[in-house]
Structure 1
Amino acid sequence: MTVTEGWPEAPAPLPAPVVDNHCHLDHRIKGGLLIPVEEALDRAAAVGVTRIVQVGCDLESSEWAVEAAREHDAVVAAVALHPNDAARMDDPVLDGALSRIDELAADPAVRAVGETGLDYFRTGPEGRPRQQRSFREHIAIATRHDRTLVIHDRDAHDDVLAVLDDTGIPDRVVMHCFSGGPEFALECLERGAFLSFAGTVTFKNAEYLREALRVTPLDRVLVETDAPFLTPEPYRGRPNASFLVPHTVRRIADVLDLDLVSLCRQIDENTSRAFGGPWASHGGQRT
C-alpha cells in the first residue's frame, strides 16, 4: 500500500486547534507503517489537529511512544500493557513487563499510563483475574508517577468501576473510546473521569453513545481517533488517522447544538487538563 492509497480526502480544517488524545501512529499493516510519522503529523496539523497522544499497548509500542514523543513536540506518550496482552502473560513475564512500564512512566515525555483496563470481549473468564491484576498495577503506577490513567473498557463496565472504587481513583482519568450509554457515563463522571469520544459516536447504530454525550458536561468531553481503527462516518471501514478527527468533532457539535469554534476551544482546554497541563518541550524537534 502506498502512503496515499485508500485514504479519504482530508476534511475542511477546524476553526480552532484540537488534540487527538488516543492514537497508534506505529500500527503496522503488511509490515509497513500506515503513514510515516512526519506526514501523519503534518496532515493532522493541516486540519487543526495540532497535538497527539501516542498510546502504547505493549512494551515495544510503549517504548516506541516514548521515543516518538522525545522527537516531536506535538506528541506525548502513554505507556501500558493492553488488557488482552496482559491476560496472555504468565505471572513472571507480567511482573517483568509491569516493572518496565513503571520505568517508562517516569520519563518526562510520558503523560499517561494506558491503555489499561478490562476487556471481556476478547478475553474469557480464565484470563480475567490476570487482567484485573494488571489493571490494579497500572493504577498504582499512574498514581505513583502522577500520570493520567487511560482506561480501555470493553464489555466490562461494572468491573472497571469496581476496581477503581477498590484501588482509589487517580487525579486524572480518561475513559478511552467511551463505549457505554448515559447511565454508565454518569457513573464515570461521578468518579471524575473525562469521556473520550471516537469515530464510533458518528455511527448510525450508536445513538446510545450520543445519549451519553448529551449527559456529559462540556468540560469533560474529549475527542480521539484510536487510529488506525474506528474511522468516523462517512468513511467507516477505511483506515483512520488523526487528520480525520474533524468529522468526529463536527458530529459532536451537531449532537450538542454547539458553535464549532467554542467546542474546539473547549476540547483543547479539556485535553490539557486531562493530561496534566500544556504540552511542554521534552526534547522533541517538532513545534
Structure 2
Amino acid sequence: MSAKREAPAPPEPLTPLVDAHTHLDSCGASDADSVAVVVDRAAAVGVGTIVTVADDLAAARWAVRAAHWDHRVYAAVALHPTRANALDDAAKAELEELAGDPRVVAVGETGLDYYWPGKLDGCADIETQIEGFRWHIDLAKRVRKPLMIHNREADHDLLTVLLDEGAPSKVIFHCFSSDTNMALSCVDEGYVLSFSGTVSFKNAHDLREAAQVVPDDQILVETDAPYLTPHPFRGAPNEPYCLPYTVRALAELRNQDPVELARITTANARRVYGI
C-alpha cells in the first residue's frame, strides 16, 4: 500500500482570491483555533475569503459556527443530494433556521448525483434526490440567497428541475464537471460556473474545453478541499491555500493573466455571495 502523498508546498501568492467552495471541517479544522490556522495558511498566499460548505446537518451547524468564529469565513448549508433521504420535517426546520443566519451566503450543496445510487449504502434514490432538490430550490428563493449545486452525471434532469421549479436569481454550479454543451446551457440561463482543481487535470478534455467558453462575469474558482487537489499534486491533501495552483492552470487554459483572473473571480464571488 502506497504512502499518502505529502501536502503541496505553498504556491506563489496570488491576490485577491475567494475560495468559493471548500469543506473546512474535512480539512482538519474543528474549533476556532484550528479554523484560524487553515485560514491563515490560505491568507498567506492571497486567499482571503473562504466559503465552507455543508453536506449534512451536523456539517451545516458546524459551518455556521465556523463562519462566526472567523470573519474571513462564510457558510453554505444544505443536505447533499446523496443524503436527501434525511430531509425530514425536523431537518427542514433546522436548515431553514440556519439558512437565515447572516453568515450564510448560499443554500448548498444540493442538486442531483446519479453516480452513487446503487453503489453507496444508504444513498438517497433518484426520486428522493429530486424531491430534496426541489425543496432546496424553494428554500433558496425564500431566504433570497444563491443556490449552490452539486451535479454528477445528471445534466438533463438537473436543468429540467431548475426550469420546472423556476431557478433562484443566483445559481452556482460548484465544481463544474460537464462538457461544453452543458456549460453553454448554464451560461445561457445566467448561471455561474465554479471550477476546481479538476480543470488542471490533463485528461479532463471535455471539462477543459468547457472552461474556455464561460464568460468572465460567470466564473468562480474553488478548492472543494480536501478533495480534488490540482495537478501536479493529485492524491495529496487539498486545502484552501492550494487555490492559486488552480487559478494559474485555469488562466493558462483561458489565455488570461492569472492576476486578472484572480481579480475577476474575486469580484464575481463578492457579487454572487453578497460579501
Give the shorter-chain TM-score range. Answer: over 0.9
The alignment partner of 2:25 has SS state of coil
Instruction: Give the superposition deviation at 1:238.
Output: 0.9
Instruction: Give the superposition deviation at 1:46.
Output: 0.6
Separation of aligned partners in 1, 2:192 and 2:35: 27
Q: 1:254 corresponds to which residue?
A: 252
Instruction: Give the superposition deviation at 1:94.
Output: 2.3
Confirm or deny that 1:61 pairs with 2:55.
no
Q: 2:43 corresponds to which residue?
A: 45
2:96 to 89, 102, 115: 102
Separation of aligned partners in 1, 2:47 and 2:161: 33
Instruction: Give the superposition deviation at 1:36.
Output: 2.5
Instruction: Give the superposition deviation at 1:6.
Output: 2.5
Instruction: Give the superposition deviation at 1:39.
Output: 1.2
Separation of aligned partners in 2, 1:67 and 1:157: 33
Q: 2:129 corresponds to which residue?
A: 131
Query: How large is the Cα RMSD of the aligned pairs?
Result: 1.9
Instruction: Give the superposition deviation at 1:126.
Output: 7.4
Separation of aligned partners in 1, 2:30 and 2:212: 39
**Alpha-carbon deviations, 1:96-153, whole Å to 9, x = none?**
2122111111111111000000001002497111100110000011000011100000
Pair 1:194–1:200, CA change in 2 (3 A): same
**Alpha-carbon deviations, 1:154-185, whole Å to 9, x = none?**
01111110100000010111000001010000
**Alpha-carbon deviations, 1:9-58, whole Å to 9, x = none?**
101111x21100101000167x989x921111011001111000010111
Q: 1:12 corresponds to which residue?
A: 12
Pair 1:64–1:222, CA change in 2 (3 A): same
Confirm or deny that 1:152 pairs with 2:126.
no
Question: Which amino acid is the alignment partner of residue 113 of structure 1?
Answer: V
Separation of aligned partners in 2, 1:261 and 1:203: 21
Question: Which amino acid is the alignment partner of residue 248 of structure 2?
Answer: R
Asked whether the 8 Å contact 1:119–1:156 carries over to 2, the reply is yes
Q: 1:284 corresponds to which residue?
A: none
> Percent identity at matched positions?
48
Separation of aligned partners in 2, 1:154 and 1:146: 25
Instruction: Give the superposition deviation at 1:75.
Output: 0.8
Q: 2:224 corresponds to which residue?
A: 226
- Structure 2: 5+ residue stretches without partners: none
The alignment partner of 1:214 has SS state of coil
Query: What are the equivalent positions in structure 2 for 1:139-178 lying under 5 Å apart?
Result: 139-178=137-176
Separation of aligned partners in 2, 1:43 and 1:108: 25
Asked whether the 8 Å contact 1:169–1:191 carries over to 2, the reply is no
Asked whether the 8 Å contact 1:66–1:109 carries over to 2, the reply is yes
Runs of 4+ in 1 over 4 A off after TM superposition: none
Q: 1:283 corresponds to which residue?
A: none
Q: Give the alignment's TM-score, normalised by structure 1.
A: 0.89
The alignment partner of 1:51 has SS state of strand
Q: 2:110 corresponds to which residue?
A: 116
- Structure 1: 5+ residue stretches without partners: 280-287
Q: 1:86 corresponds to which residue?
A: 84
Q: 1:22 corresponds to which residue?
A: 21
**Alpha-carbon deviations, 1:46-104, whole Å to 9, x = none?**
111100001011110001011111111111110000011114x3xxx523212211111
Aligned length: 266
Instruction: Give the superposition deviation at 1:205.
Output: 0.8
Q: 1:239 corresponds to which residue?
A: 237
Question: Which amino acid is the alignment partner of residue 206 of structure 1?
Answer: A
